[in-house]
Chains A and B, each alone.
Chain A
Amino acid sequence: MRKSRWLAGIAAAVSLAACAPVQSGPAQPAGDERTGQLRVWLFDEVNRAAKEKVVQEAVAEFQGKHQGVTVDVQYIQVQSRAERFKAAFSDPASAPDVAEFGNTDLAGYVSAGGLADISGEALNWEDVHDVLPAALDATKVDKKVYAIPWYIGVRALYYRTDVFTELGVKPPSTLDEIAPLARRIRAAKPDLLGISVGGKYTYGALPFVWGEGGELATSLNGKFTAAIDSPQAKAGVAKYTELLRDDICPPAQCAGNGGDASVEAFRAGKAAMTIGGDFNRRSVDASAAAGKYAVVPLPGKAPGVIAPAFGGGNLLGLLSGTKHRSLAFEFTQLLAGKQYQRKMFDAMGNLPTFSGLQRELADSVPAIKPFTDTLASGVKFVPNTPAWAKIDAQAVVPTMLQEVARGTKDVDAATKSAADAMNAAFGS
């Protein structure tokens, strides 16, 4: 008796509570107020002071032009950005008007309904047509523009000139030459890694896949299918993982490394080569390898060809709940415009996304030429779908590389299970 009354009570309480998980309403395509506070989120950086100085300048210029407008800039941690953005999308009242984010984040944010479609404004902006096409492509989902490229990052091959001169070797001219060369250097200098790469270094491995003519995935009518188990992609994976061997970069030391750790070994003077970005240049200049290194584009399959690099970079976009649409776009236009991209290059070394500006800089700063050459020869991007964020979070590519490096699976089996994991993510 009493028990059944209890159960009835519980059942009543349960049916009173909502029977479905909470959902916040879609952010209202808000207003277009011309005064008030514009809220901006930018990424925090190790050398934030330099970034902050340029941004402050832009804020002052913007506030000078617009009476009654203040700009509040917050610096958010890169590591926890996913949580911050998810929270902002779920609660539009706490969201900023303008935000910086990585171009690999874009597709996920768009499908979450968090970003405003700015195709109209963006394509009417004259300067946008000078933006590198690959950089602009990374701002689009289903042909709609959701952001403006702020800067771009590509990786190339760093090598130690002193070691190369001493051993009388030349930088590799094809992908195939990298492993034998690295092996030879390590044999001659056993305390050096032949080339410092890592099992978690997805963006270091992708040029090998692309250079061999492989793809991560192919898309047909917006539906993605994994292609990492195609013969070309497998050749690329095999070529990259060949570097994760005891006679080049021992897996016990390298299999757990991502990009930062890979470059760190080069900085510490413990590697003869590495794959590093233009954004690593300054830190290498302040390391044990300073003055003893040079950079060349990562070679492709044939001599004279550059392996397609991953076109990473950061974007500035408008959140869909912004109440200051015009102001927000104008501020984005200012900060991502040629003048401030140039200032950001001077302050931070961030590569501009305008091709004219890149050419100009390559003439005056020869050190960035390998990177601009890589950009000019064409960069590639990860599949532009929200599923990629999931594949990234589930560490599908690092797991594949590490399985081969550890020897727990061969290339065929590892790429097969990676393809299965990707297809599962694409399908859901």
Chain B
Amino acid sequence: MTAGPAARGQGRTALGYLAPALLVLGALLAYPVYQLVVISLFDYGQEQVSGGAPLEFLGAGNYEELLGSARFWEVLAQTVGFAAVCVVTTLVVGAALAVLATRVRPWARMCLFLAALGAWATPAVAGSTIWLFLFDANFGLVNHLLGLDGFSWTYGKWTAFGLVAAQVVWCSFPFVMITLYAGIRAIPGEVLEAAALDGASTWRTARSVVLPLLRPILVVVTIQSVIWDFKVFTQIYVMTGGGGIAGQNLVLNVFAYQQAFAASEYGLGAAIGVVMTVVLLAVTLFYLRALRRSGEEL
């Protein structure tokens, strides 16, 4: 390092400005994560929390138990698949509606936005419960309209996952739609005009002008969606009654709650939390690297 005294002084000033933010981040993020890792190394149940039993250091014991269980891998695969479907569908629906919003009249756009905001603002528990009512086997509006009286959407594994995925998409597409709409609107008119003058088709403009300009925004909404959908809890918990018939619809978060937190096995639960964090970090890093390799500066 060849930084001179002036540069060092500048670094110190910068550090001074950053200190409050670092302090807040440290307290709110680093410390809990550190505690999570520590707890995951112990046999830490309710007995240990309330001082009824001594702490026992397990080292990697919780992780071995977790990674050695076939059930965990099954649930992990299910979670990844479910999240992937939700992310792709959310992005497609959100993007399509964002494009639609730029093409329609103001009143239609207003209606679209109001509907989307309504879905966005609905609390997850309320939204899930309302969807359950709509899809109720005997009294639901959907079955009534489709003439499927008595058909249970939550009984079959795939229909249950499909129903929950639809609900997840319903409550998360508005974020994608509104962000992308803002992005599309921020593209300078001159650029589009120039493309048009050069004789570019709509498809060509979309692919070579709009998409590259939207890329940073797309990256943000994709990563956000991946994180949200990977961590989905409420919808599965409420709509499938805690993980579906015989646990067929479990995803990692609900699995962690059922196997570990409700059962007061906080050590094991913390281990699941750590694994989830690592998986999410890996997915995000992989995604960012793939983008960088394709030549994009973020």
Contact = CB atoms under 8 A, between A and B. Distances in A.
Interface in B42-79: 42-44, 46-53, 55, 57
Contacts of B246: 199, 398-399, 402-403, 406, 408
A251 interface: yes
Contact of A112 (B42, B46, B242): B46
Contacts of B57: 20
B34 interface: yes
A304 interface: no
Contacts of B51: 23-27, 113
A256 interface: yes
Q: How large is the interface on A (under 10, 10 to 19, 20 to 34, 35 or more residues)?
A: 35 or more
Interface stretch (B94-102, B147-155, B185-193, B283-291): B147-155
A420 B22 CA distance: 47
Interface in A1-24: 1-2, 14, 17, 19-24
Contacts of A402: 245-246
Contacts of A2: 1
B247 A23 contact: no
B48 A394 contact: no
Nearest to A88: B50
A390 B269 CA distance: 13
Interface in B101-149: 137
Contact of A255 (B155, B258, B263, B264): B155
A17 B39 contact: no
Given A26-B52, A114-B50, 7 more contacts: A21-B55, A23-B50, A24-B49, A25-B51, A112-B52, A256-B155, A399-B246
A92 to B, nearest CB: 9
Contact of B35 (A21, A112, A251): A21
B38 interface: yes
Contacts of A394: 258-259, 262-263
B245 A253 contact: no
A89 B50 CA distance: 6
Interface residues of B, number: 39
Q: What 9 A-B pairs come out closest when comparing CB atoms? A: A113-B52, A402-B246, A393-B262, A89-B50, A393-B263, A390-B263, A26-B51, A252-B155, A252-B152
B131 to A, nearest CB: 16
Interface string B9-51: 0000000000000000000000100110011001110111111
B264 A86 contact: yes
B216 interface: no
B241 interface: yes
Interface string A104-124: 000010011110000000000
B229 interface: no
Interface in A54-96: 82, 86, 89-90
A276 interface: no
Interface string A370-414: 000000000000000010011001110011001101101000000
Contacts of A86: 46, 49-50, 264
Given A256-B241, A390-B263, A23 B48 contact: yes
15 contacts: A21-B266, A22-B49, A86-B46, A89-B52, A108-B46, A111-B52, A112-B50, A113-B47, A114-B50, A199-B245, A253-B152, A256-B155, A390-B263, A390-B264, A425-B263
Interface of B: 1, 31, 34-35, 38-39, 42-44, 46-53, 55, 57, 137, 150-152, 154-155, 241-243, 245-248, 258-259, 262-266
A24 B42 CA distance: 16
A252 B245 CA distance: 10
A19 B38 CA distance: 7
A102 to B, nearest CB: 15
B49 A90 contact: yes
Contacts of A389: 263-264
Which of B35, B48, B151, B264: most chain A CB closer than 10 A?
B264
A199 B243 CA distance: 13
A255 B245 contact: yes
A228 to B, nearest CB: 15
B298 to A, nearest CB: 23
B47 A112 contact: yes
Nearest to A18: B38
A405 B245 CA distance: 9
Contacts of A25: 51
A18 to B, nearest CB: 8
B258 A395 contact: yes
Given A90-B49, A253-B150, A256-B241, A21 B259 contact: no
Contacts of B1: 1-2
B31 A108 contact: no
Contacts of A398: 246
